[in-house]
Amino acid sequence: HRSVLSEIEVLQSIYLDELSVNQRDEGGWTVSLVLYPSTAEDCLSQFVRLTLTVDLDSQYPYSSPCISIHNPRGLSDDKLLSLQRSLQIEAESCIGTPVLYQLIERAKEILTESNIPHGNCVICLYGFKEGEVFTKTSCYHYFHSHCLGRYITHSEMELKDRERELEEDKTRDRTEEEDLAVVCPVCREPLTYDLDALLSSPAPVFTQQEDAVIGGEFKKKWAALQKILEQQKEKGGVIDPEAESNRFLIHINEVNPTWIFKKCILFGSVVEHCVSSAKDRGFDSQGT
Ligand SMILES: [Zn+2]
Ligand SMILES: [Zn+2]
């Protein structure tokens, strides 16, 4: 009895008011505590939590405590079950010695490992899953590390192009330099990053089911649009804007002089023919 009391006193000195202790009428104790992942007091990056309750009967520590989990947040049923099981096994392997502190810290450790943000990665649009590697930016946005690495690679290439453009543009006033930095895809804050580390992170794994749902929807739409495109082609409703704009263009450096000579003679009638055929196709005389 004394040993239980002194163990609880030690816990109270560590967890202070967070720990709730009740002595049950039929003998024994109930110790309960809300647990968060250890994220150095950074509440914004705590995505999971649970209340751990440990019931001790009057035989404790010579009997195994009964462990239960309440009010979980952000944890799957599978995760909760495996957490509860592994704590119970740990408790049973320590019969005869005080185990409460060990159980609480173990639960915290597992919570910290399972601390995964809600929502989707805005780069690949898939949700975050356990075991995936993700990154929190200084602006508190979350991405798969690999996705962010690919985004940054692309942004850096664009920035280099932009830099080259500015370099070549001698008329530009060099005092009004643009801020060339890779920015967060969500909020446009400049990013600080270690690109090699991001790119070497494993890419997120997309489950077959998710792929199948998107693939099926997409294929259906694609087939429908393809049918419409064919119909429009048949009716002459599809116009290639580049080919159209070059239709009446004469490339002087590409053709031989005799051809130009013939073309010049024919020019009047060619223009007339083009205008009338454009009218047939529903264009006005400006060719718009
Ligand atoms: Zn992603
Ligand atoms: Zn951001």
At 55-66, the pLDDT tens digits run 999 999 999 999
CATH of 134-200, picked from 2.60.40.640, 3.30.40.10, 3.30.420.40, 1.10.10.10, is 3.30.40.10
> How far away, in angstroms, is 227 Cα from ligand 2 center?
41
Which residue matches tokens 């007339």? 272
Neighbours of 142 (CB within 10 A): 20
Contacts of 217 (CB under 8 A, 6+ apart): none
Q: Which ligand is nearest to the CA of 127?
A: 1
Please state the pTM of the whole predicted model: 0.49
Q: How would you write the chain as a 3-class SS string?
A: CHHHHHHHHHHHHHHHHHEEEEECCCCCEEEEEEECCCCCCCHHHCCCEEEEEEEECCCCCCCCCEEEEEEEECCCHHHHHHHHHHHHHHHHCCCCCCCHHHHHHHHHHHHHHCCCCCCECCCCCCECCCCCCEEECCCCCEEEHHHHHHHHHHHHHHHHHHHHHHHHCCCCCCCCCCCCCCECCCCCCECCCCHHHHHHCCCCCCCHHHHHHHHHHHHHHHHHHHHHHHHHHHCCCCCCHHHHHCCCCCCHHHCCHHHHHHHHHHHHHHHHHHHHHHHHCCCCCCCC
**Separation CA 90–CA 103 (nearest Å):** 7
> How far away, in angstroms, is 119 Cα from ligand 1 center?
11
Q: Which ligand is nearest to the CA of 202?
A: 1
More confident residue, 141 or 283: 141
> How far away, in angstroms, is 110 Cα from ligand 2 center?
28
> How far away, in angstroms, is 58 Cα from ligand 2 center?
53
Is the model's pLDDT at 31 over the cut of 80?
A: yes
> How far away, in angstroms, is 109 Cα from ligand 2 center?
28
Q: Which ligand is nearest to the CA of 140?
A: 2
More confident residue, 105 or 206: 105
Is the model's pLDDT at 274 over the cut of 50?
A: no
More confident residue, 260 or 241: 241
pLDDT at 156: 95
> How far away, in angstroms, is 204 Cα from ligand 1 center?
6
> How far away, in angstroms, is 131 Cα from ligand 1 center?
13
> How far away, in angstroms, is 53 Cα from ligand 1 center?
36
> How far away, in angstroms, is 48 Cα from ligand 2 center?
22
Is residue 152 within 8 A of residue 144, CB to CB? The reply is no
> How far away, in angstroms, is 190 Cα from ligand 2 center?
8
By CB atoms closer than 10 A (0-12, 13-18, 19+), residue 143 is buried
The model's confidence at residue 148, banded by pLDDT at 50, 70 and 90, is: very high
pLDDT at 270: 47
> How far away, in angstroms, is 136 Cα from ligand 2 center?
9
> How far away, in angstroms, is 120 Cα from ligand 1 center?
7
> How far away, in angstroms, is 50 Cα from ligand 1 center?
27
Please state which of the ranges 40-49, 69-78, 187-196 shows the lowest mean pLDDT: 40-49
- For the chain, the average pLDDT equals 81
> How far away, in angstroms, is 44 Cα from ligand 2 center?
14
Q: Where do the domains of the chain lie?
A: 2-113, 134-200, 209-280
Between strands 66-73 and 49-56, the pairing is antiparallel
Q: Which ligand is nearest to the CA of 124?
A: 1
Q: Which ligand is nearest to the CA of 206?
A: 1
Per the omega criterion (within 30 degrees of 0), is the bond before 204 cis?
A: no
pLDDT at 174: 57
Counting Cα atoms < 13 Å in the Cβ hemisphere of 84 gives 18
Q: Which ligand is nearest to the CA of 148?
A: 1
Is the model's pLDDT at 258 over the cut of 60?
A: no
**What are 150-200's pLDDT values in tens digits?**
999 999 999 999 888 888 877 766 555 667 899 999 889 999 999 999 999
Is the model's pLDDT at 252 over the cut of 60?
A: no
Between strands 29-35 and 19-23, the pairing is antiparallel
Hey, what are 153's tokens?
């690679």
Hey, what are 18's tokens?
């967070």
Please state which CATH number belongs to domain 2-113.
3.10.110.10
Q: Which ligand is nearest to the CA of 145?
A: 1
pLDDT at 133: 86
pLDDT at 74: 74
